[in-house]
Structure 1
Amino acid sequence: MTDRDFSSFVRDVRKRAHVSFRELSDSAGVSNPYLQGERGVRRPSGAVLRQLALALRVATPIMYLRANFTPENGSAMPLAIATDRELTSKQKQTLAEMYDSFVNENERTSAR
């Protein structure tokens, strides 16, 4: 998948959700200039992908897959969840949400 494909994916999901570019920026906590990912930004971080997924109500593993994201220093767990053939879509979503909540809690704890 190319950066353009990912950009198209974000734009399409945003439009289907009836969310403006500014609303997405605000709800994802990502600056407008950085959010140009919809228009072709290269290689967003895992944290940005998680924020975009949350704001667009898309499973984080799906966002990772669409962005062709492979964490260099992070966990491959979201990708493992997304590609597991034994799980239903609902199970994948639930596991991804649980995983994200643990990661977010750890980030908040380490920031203190």
Structure 2
Amino acid sequence: MAKLSMHGAVGNLGEYVRTQRQQAQLSLRQLAELADVSNPYLSQIERGLRRPSAEVLQQIAKALRISAESLYVRAGILDSEDIGPRMVEDAIALDPRLTARQKSALVDIYRSFVGMNDASSDELTEKLTHAKEDS
């Protein structure tokens, strides 16, 4: 049973790498060269047949200009809750339809909303704590 879940994670990783490669408009050969891995090995990763090391994932992420953490999550190395905001920012950064200025503005807005939600959550917790103390 564990093998199936690992294979599922590896397949999901491969699909994600392929999608990111295509969005970056890179051929398999180009990405393999940029990431310093062989064409067949990268092809096996994309098809979900191989589970690359963290080092190889980092090389692929660098070549694709995405966070290594997003690949670590898909490979099952990191928990997705650890990097949620980073993935949103990566998605904004990779969208070719946006200008650099628009990307910067969106990231700033996103960070301000997330910050407000964190602050609101902290305020709510504090109010609930004080309400319990008063009762």
TM range (shorter): 0.5 to 0.7
Cα RMSD (Å): 2.6
The alpha-carbon distance between structure 1 residues 51 and 21, as it changes in their structure 2 partners (threshold 3 A), is: same
2:23 corresponds to? 16
**Structure 1 stretches of at least 4 aligned residues deviating more than 4 Å after TM superposition:** none
Aligned pair 1:52/2:60, yes or no? yes
Asked if the contact 1:6/1:38 (under 8 Å) is kept, the reply is yes
Aligned pair 1:65/2:62, yes or no? no
Matches of 1:39 and 1:61 in 2, distance apart? 20
Matches of 1:42 and 1:23 in 2, distance apart? 19
**Count of residue pairs the alignment pairs up:** 81
1:89 corresponds to? 86
Amino acid at match of 1:54: K
1:35 to 22, 38, 42: 42
2:13 corresponds to? 6
Structure 1 gap ranges (5+): 70-78, 94-112
The alpha-carbon distance between structure 1 residues 59 and 33, as it changes in their structure 2 partners (threshold 3 A), is: same
Matches of 2:46 and 2:27 in 1, distance apart? 12
Amino acid at match of 1:13: Q
Asked if the contact 1:34/1:41 (under 8 Å) is kept, the reply is no
- SS of aligned partner of 1:42: coil
Asked if the contact 2:14/2:46 (under 8 Å) is kept, the reply is yes
Normalized per residue, the structure richer in helix is: 2
Q: TM-score, normalised by structure 1?
A: 0.61
In the TM superposition, residue 89 of structure 1 has moved relative to its aligned partner by 2.8
Q: TM-score, normalised by structure 2?
A: 0.52
Identity of aligned residues (%): 40
